[in-house]
Amino acid sequence: MPKKKVLLDEDELPKKWYNILPDLPEPLPPPLHPMTKEPLKPEDLEPLFPKGLIKQEMSNERYIKIPEEVLEVYRMWRPTPLIRAERLERYLKTPARIYYKYEGVSPPGSHKPNTAVAQAYYNMKEGVERLTTETGAGQWGSALCFATKLFDMKCTVYMVKVSYEQKPYRRIIMEAYGGEVIPSPSNRTESGRKILESDPDTPGSLGIAISEAVEDAAKNDDTKYSLGSVLNHVLLHQTVVGLELKKQLEKIDEKPDILVGCVGGGSNFSGLSYPFVKDSQKNGLRIVAVEPAACPTLTSGEYRYDYGDTVGLTPLIKMYTLGHKFIPPPIHAGGLRYHGDAPTLSLLVAKGVIEAVAVKQLSTFEAGLIFARTEGIIPAPESNHAVRVAIDEALKAKEKNEEKVIVIGLSGHGYFDLSAYDSYLSGRLNDT
């Protein structure tokens, strides 16, 4: 009988991050300068990022050592548990074994501090005093406010306006950690003012908020910018999740058949799955990325060069995109409302190494409540996308009477997203 809850000892925490760049099926198309369209040089990124992170962004080394100061913070909540969802299995009457790797145990409640802490650390090392960033649902902002405070830095968060209004608790968390939160688009930046002029009632979007945060950092010398997803170094930091998962599965002698996670920009999904990618074909492992039908980047987007933000200030990156001007409908999984996706993940999907599916909002909340009523944890609306597809796969396994091993990346809890659950429970939620 496999253990229900698989824990690692603190000293089993990974000491290195895994960089997938040298293991991609073909070289990653380089990011391009937004003006010249020439491949980006490390210096081009220096107004926005510290050198330590730029080096990681462009590194071809397979393993990168985690600094002791970062490990020390990770130990506050890592390693995170791998939990067998036995009650969910019983409810579904499936022969599949379902596990979830739970990132909701971090202080801000999601996987995001895995990179926020590393990014704050490298900025602090180079004397940066303030970080700017954008946030959708507020998880990234709260992770960065938490992390910057640990290293005695300031943090300014441009929060997508619809989330600022729908999710006051996230704003309060950021302010409790000492951050400054501004609804975006705002009057603080040229990019924000331009958008407000043409569309004063815009719900905002991650793309717009990125433009504002980038502009703020570029115009201030003591300030740099920090991104919570998409970039190579962000995905790199998140691989602590998959590296731990690998050890945990080995510990109980399980071989996964399906890894499933949700995708906004791709960081929690890549963190969970990248350490498994290289041998996935050999091991018959399916790696499934789940996105919202309202923002179907991987399943309906084009694979081409595009800007990371709405205004066109960021480098051009080759990725699946819905177009940098795409403003997704205000679904509750705010963290999944992004027009693009990480370039490495996009390449792996284009090459057929990773599968992608899109699911509708109502079906994700239905899945989230099944999970809450069996496993007791109320997942983040983003994580519900992964839970949905895991349940669908478990039901398929039941039809075929197959003993599949399914692992869910449960990227965060939903205790600050209860208004979304309230909308669902009272029948006010729609599929847009």
Residues in contact with ligand PLP by CB under 6 A are 110, 112, 139-140, 229, 262-269, 335-336, 380, 382-383, 411-412
Indicate the SS3 state at residue 126.
Answer: coil
3-state secondary structure of 417: coil
| DSSP-derived 3-state class of residue 141 | helix
Q: 307, 191 in Cβ contact below 8 A?
A: no
Instruction: Supply the minimum distance, in Å, between the C-beta of residue 104 and ligand PLP.
Output: 8
* Torsion, Cα of 307, 310, 313, 315 (10° steps): -10
Q: Which is nearer to ligand PLP, 6 or 295 (CB)?
A: 295
Q: Which is nearer to ligand PLP, 134 or 215 (CB)?
A: 134
> What ranges in 13-138 are assigned the alpha helix state H?
51-57, 68-74, 86-92, 113-125
CA–CA distance, 79 with 309 (Å, rounded to integer): 34
Closer CB to ligand PLP, residue 144 or residue 380? 380
Nearest residue (CB) to ligand PLP, 196 versus 424: 424
d(CA 64, CA 60): 10
Least spacing, CB of residue 271 vs ligand PLP, in Å = 8
Q: What's the rounded Cα separation, in Å, for the pair 78 and 179?
A: 24
| Direct distance between the N- and C-terminal alpha carbons of the chain, in angstroms, rounded to an integer | 44
Closest distance of CB 297 from ligand PLP, Å = 10
- Report yes or no: 57 and 45 within 8 Å, Cβ to Cβ: yes
Tokens of 375: 């496993």
Beta strands 130-135 and 258-262 are: unpaired
Tokens for 246, please give them: 């690998």
Residue 34 Cβ vs ligand PLP, minimum distance, rounded to whole Å? 22
Nearer residue to ligand PLP within complex by CB, 21 or 252: 21
Cβ closest to ligand PLP, residue 97 vs residue 326: 326
Q: Provide the H-helix boundaries in 252-360.
A: 267-277, 280-283, 297-300, 343-350
| Residue 110 CB, nearest approach to ligand PLP (Å) | 4
C-beta of 294: minimal distance to ligand PLP in Å? Answer: 14
Q: Least distance from C-beta 265 to ligand PLP, angstroms? A: 4
C-beta closer to ligand PLP: residue 226 or 268: 268
